[in-house]
Amino acid sequence: MSARGKAGTTREDKRARTLVTPEGLALPITIAPRASRAGALIIDVMIIVFGLVVFRLLMSWIAQGLLAGTMLDPDQLSGGALEFLGIVYVLIVFATWYGYFLVQELGPRGATLGKRMVGIRIAARGQARLTPEAVIARNLLRDIEIFYPLITLLILTVAAQTGEPVGALGWVLAGWFLLFLLFPFFNRDALRAGDVVAGTWVVERPRTKLASVLSVQGAVAAEGASEVTGARYQFGDAELSIYGERELQTLERMLRDAPDEALHAVHATICRKIGWDPGAGDERAFLEAFYGQLRAKLEADLRFGKRKADKFS
């Protein structure tokens, strides 16, 4: 292997982590590169700014066409009316800015358009679920970390050019901006301050293929019946639809390598998730039957153009 390939492998290994889901499944993940996060944010800001500019121009064009020549002629509006329209537009900007991030990151994909374009998403650290409170906190703090000081610095720069005294405030804001801008470079998970407070991290979301078929160890017979207890395991579409390809691969790795204690925990988690109570005694047979039927369903869906990458899809 070339030195370049070894370096690339080392960087991937440094970003490799394990995420334990609330269901008890251990999923291998990769921390998103800092460059990808910056690129996603730039794309999202460009989308928002472009959308707001187009909206303003469109509304202005419609207003000119509808109101020109009437008592509400835009060219004859009073100062108070113009101030009111300005306040309405500021509220629209506020709702668009925060709604864009919150609505998309609270969705099943956990990612904005920019994040989806570069192949990353947000996730909760630890075994907690990604909550609305966490998403709101990380987005509010991003403005305090980056955008508020940046906008204030631009205003102070313009003021200084017109001869206004700005004092040491500019240096304080510049230090504030640089501190939080460089914060992700000083921790191994590339977390910004908002991620630390909200308990989140940003991870890669690669498109994966189904792994090779697991050769089970014979604990389950051909039709889903346990050779140990005689119990028959047949799962419906609703029960199999709770998981996707990523969880299938995790379950496969556990069936290959995990000790019995870990299989018991996964068995209990899946049973609780799908509302089953098959009892104990042959957890491996249950998991092998679930694995085989889940795989068959995912492969059948793929043939019809339906893909379920993970439980969030």
DSSP state of 218: S
Q: What is the pLDDT of residues 74-109, one digit of tens each?
A: 555 555 656 777 788 889 999 999 999 999 988 877
- Pairing, β 16-20 against β 200-204: unpaired
Q: What is the pLDDT of residues 189-214, one digit of tens each?
A: 889 998 999 888 898 875 555 455 44
- What DSSP assignment string belongs to 244-258? -HHHHHHHHHHHHH-
Average pLDDT over residues 30-45: 91
Q: Which residues pair with 124 in a beta bridge?
A: 200
Show which of 180, 204, 228 is a domain's final residue.
Answer: 204
Q: How many C-beta atoms surround the C-beta of residue 175 within 10 A? A: 11
Average pLDDT over residues 211-227: 48
Q: How much is the pLDDT for 3?
A: 46
Q: Does 10 reside within a domain?
A: no
Q: Does 197 reside within a domain?
A: yes
Please name the amino acid found at residue 214.
Answer: L
Which pTM does this prediction carry? Answer: 0.62
Using the predicted structure, report yes or no on whether residue 24 has a pLDDT greater than 80. no
Q: Is 160 found in the same domain as 129?
A: yes
Q: What is the residue whose two structure tokens read 């075994």?
A: 127
More confident residue, 192 or 238: 192
Tell whether the torsion through CA atoms of 123, 126, 127 and 132 is positive or negative.
negative
Terminal CA-CA length for the chain: 37
Q: Does 267 reside within a domain?
A: yes
Show which of 172, 204, 236 is a domain's final residue.
Answer: 204
Using the predicted structure, report yes or no on whether residue 8 has a pLDDT greater than 80. no
Rg (the chain; Cα; Å): 27
More confident residue, 194 or 128: 194
Using the predicted structure, report yes or no on whether residue 309 has a pLDDT greater than 90. no
Q: Is 217 found in the same domain as 181?
A: no
Q: How many C-beta atoms surround the C-beta of residue 238 within 10 A? A: 9
Q: How many C-beta atoms surround the C-beta of residue 287 within 10 A? A: 24
The domain tally of the chain equals 2
Band of residue 265 on the pLDDT scale cut at 50, 70, 90: confident
Q: Is 137 found in the same domain as 42?
A: yes
Q: Is 273 found in the same domain as 164?
A: no
Q: Is 220 found in the same domain as 129?
A: no
Q: How much is the pLDDT for 29?
A: 81
Show which of 139, 169, 204 is a domain's final residue.
Answer: 204
Q: Is 261 found in the same domain as 123?
A: no
Among candidates 172, 119, 124, 177, which has minimal Cα distance to 149?
177
Q: Is 257 found in the same domain as 151?
A: no
| CB 36, CB 203: distance < 8 Å | no
Average pLDDT over residues 240-257: 80
Between CA 225 and CA 282 the distance in angstroms is 11
Using the predicted structure, report yes or no on whether residue 216 has a pLDDT greater than 90. no
Q: What are phi and psi of 35, to 5 degrees?
A: -65, -40
More confident residue, 308 or 58: 58
Between CA 276 and CA 270 the distance in angstroms is 8
Average pLDDT over residues 153-157: 87
Using the predicted structure, report yes or no on whether residue 28 has a pLDDT greater than 60. yes
Q: Is 77 found in the same domain as 165?
A: yes
3-state secondary structure of 287: helix
Q: Does 160 reside within a domain?
A: yes
DSSP state of 184: G
**Residue ranges making up the domain that contains 268:** 208-305
Band of residue 114 on the pLDDT scale cut at 50, 70, 90: very high
Q: Does 229 reside within a domain?
A: yes
DSSP state of 2: -
